[in-house]
Amino acid sequence: MSNVRYYTVDPPAALADYVRSFWAFEMDLPEEQPYVYRSMADACTEMVFHYKGRFDNADGPQLKPEPLSMMHAQTQRYRRFITKGSFGIFGVYLYPFAVPRLLSVSSAELTDQMPDLHTLLGAEGAELEERMLHALDNRQRMVILSNYLLKRLQQQKEAPAVIRTAIKTAIQANGLINIPSFTEQFYLSSRQFERRFKEQSGFTLKTYCRILRFHSALNEYGNKAISLTDLAYQCGYYDQSHFINDFKQFSGYTPKEYFRGNAEGAEYREVE
């Protein structure tokens, strides 16, 4: 799709422990043409900057415009947003344990929330937004945001290594883990593990793995070679009903509706 540009960039080595990637999403549309984007449940957190165009809440009453910069925390909800005309978004995809270190609050306090950077960071957030929105291009935005994150991370206490490892291991396994044996390998009681895991990830381990399995299914968008039955099994679902229920909860679609090829906001998945 020539009017859609989406790409990711790996973080510099100094940020790799806390940042999964930087990304940009741009689309050229006729003036006033509406575009609806649906964000899905996600086990990680994003810091987002709308440098061109502005998205508003597509569901329910619109009491005020959505902010131009925000922290889109890890969530088990889907949301719908609408804009008109061309737009450009730049973001950084963070491991959830970056939140406590960046903001000095537990990840659980921000779960399912989308606060603006002015509220979270005060004058510092307003200044960062100003610099990001008026940067020359996305390369400069990545430099600005990388420098900001490096400075901020150096000022805060590091996340517990054992929980960082647990979260990254669960992500790498796409949530396909045996929970009792998984917690045992970190030499904490199950109660200690769950408390610390939720502080750093925002969810219980069980919920976290459900969202990760859902995302491993999402990543097969456009793969015509796999049936929905095989996809459910591949992603760790033992029957279709659990697969359908999780998918519907986290995306608002049934798997059949989503993989049909015209899901809201999925255009970036079609960019090679």
Angle at 74 between CA 80 and CA 71, to 5 degrees: 75
Q: Angle formed by the axes of helices 161-172 and 190-201, to 10°? A: 80
70-99 pLDDT, tens digit each: 999 999 999 999 999 999 999 999 999 999
Q: How far apart are CA 88 and CA 9, in angstroms?
A: 16
Is 223's pLDDT higher than 80?
no
The pTM is what?
0.92
Q: Which domains are delineated in the chain?
A: 4-154 (2.60.120), 161-270 (1.10.10.60)
**Smallest Cα–Cα separation from 53: which of 76, 71, 36, 74?**
36
Q: How far apart are CA 159 and CA 129, in angstroms?
A: 26
208-220 pLDDT, tens digit each: 999 999 999 998 8
Long-range contacts of the stretch 125-130 (C-beta < 8 A, 24+): 125/69, 128/69, 129/49, 129/68, 129/69
Contact by Cβ (8 Å): 48, 120: no
